[in-house]
Amino acid sequence: MAAFQRVAPVLALSGAVLVASFASAAAADNKQTLLGVSKGWSAYQSDTSDGRVCYALSKPKTTAPAKAARDPIYFLISNWPGRKAENELEVVPGYSYKDGEPVFAQVGTVKVEFFTRNDNSGGSAWVKDAGDENALVAAMRKGKTITVSGVSQRGTHTKDTYSLAGLGTMLDRIHDACSK
């Protein structure tokens, strides 16, 4: 439950709404800044009414099943200095998750469980045990791919694989931008 309490303020921004909220807040404040693009990863900074937020995001290189109808799919890593959140991991699967089904992310031998939340616009998942976040980020910095598996409300098992090339550079950018 501690992990849920830690991300509860962010739940209003869950799912695809998270990405849209960053863009909407930035458009309203006109202060969104692209920090860079490296391989499959992009980094942004936004100054919102909740303070500065910096995030890196990527879309998967492969998805399975390939023909499943899904909204945009993302893996995000956020820093929210005002909320004292760093390396907060989130999966946006492009669908609503099946209630009670965990999501798993794996880099090499490091496998971490995520908990899920659905809202009207889709689902999102966050690391279940906050202590696992830094270990997963460290594995991501060293790894080549991360694979995320989950189950949709319809019972479809999905597996999305993201390249980690360029991630380290984009993480450094968001850490620099949100430490000022």
How much is the pLDDT for 36?
Answer: 97
pLDDT in tens, 8-55: 333 333 333 344 444 434 444 447 899 999 999 999 999 888 789 999
Confidence band of 180 (pLDDT split at 50, 70, 90) = low
Which CATH number characterizes residue 43's domain?
2.60.40.1880
% of the chain surpassing 70 pLDDT = 83
How much is the pLDDT for 50?
Answer: 79
Domain extent at residue 113: 2-177
How much is the pLDDT for 49?
Answer: 82
The torsion region of residue 133 among left (phi > 0), alpha (psi -120 to 50) and beta comes to alpha
Count of the separate structural domains present in the chain: 1
Report the alpha-carbon distance of residue 34 to residue 44 in Å, rounded.
5
How much is the pLDDT for 79?
Answer: 95
CA-wise closest residue to 83 among 125, 55, 51, 49:
51
Q: Which residue has the higher pLDDT, 158 or 84?
A: 158
Listed in sequence order, the residues at least 6 apart from 4 whose beta carbon sits closer than 8 Å to its beta carbon are: 115
Other beta carbons within 10 angstroms of residue 34's beta carbon come to: 10
pLDDT above 60: residue 3: no
User: Which of 15-24, 62-71, 96-105 is predicted with the least confidence, judged by mean pLDDT?
Assistant: 15-24
Average of per-residue pLDDT values in the chain: 85
How much is the pLDDT for 11?
Answer: 34
